[in-house]
Structure 1
Amino acid sequence: MPYVNVKITREGGTTREQKAQVIKGISEVLRDVLGKPLSATFVVINEVELEDWGVGGLPVEDYRRQAGEKS
């Protein structure tokens, strides 16, 4: 029984329909590639506040600012 946990930031206002598409797509990939039944596949989407997300040792907003300066 596959369990997939998807974490995204809350920014951008992900809609219910978009989340449904993500759940469906991930479940279908596991079915098609690994033969896992849809009925036994669990997909959980967690939305995380942007201030609670980090990358490259920095809060994501600082990382993006720094990356923008390098471009």
Structure 2
Amino acid sequence: MSANTKKDPCKANACRIQACLKENNYQENKCADVLEAMRQCCLKWHKVSLCCSGIDLGKPYQTEASKGAGKSEI
């Protein structure tokens, strides 16, 4: 039985989320880019990734305003 045959395609993203949250005192807004990367992974792999259970695929974590960090939109 090979460990690579069942590798979760979104596990690395899940680990990045945990590290980011820990580094930023569990403030989700500081990890929006990492959370969005996980959401994008889960959009592609949700049927095979156990890490994606519980992820709200309809909720973008990065808004257009947060992507364009010097732009102010009202």
TM range (shorter): under 0.3
- Please identify which structure carries the higher helix content: 2
If asked which structure has higher relative contact order (CA below 8 Å, sep 6+), I would say 1
TM-score, structure 2 as length reference: 0.27
Q: Larger C-alpha radius of gyration, 1 or 2? A: 1
TM-score, structure 1 as length reference: 0.27
- Please identify which structure carries the higher strand content: 1
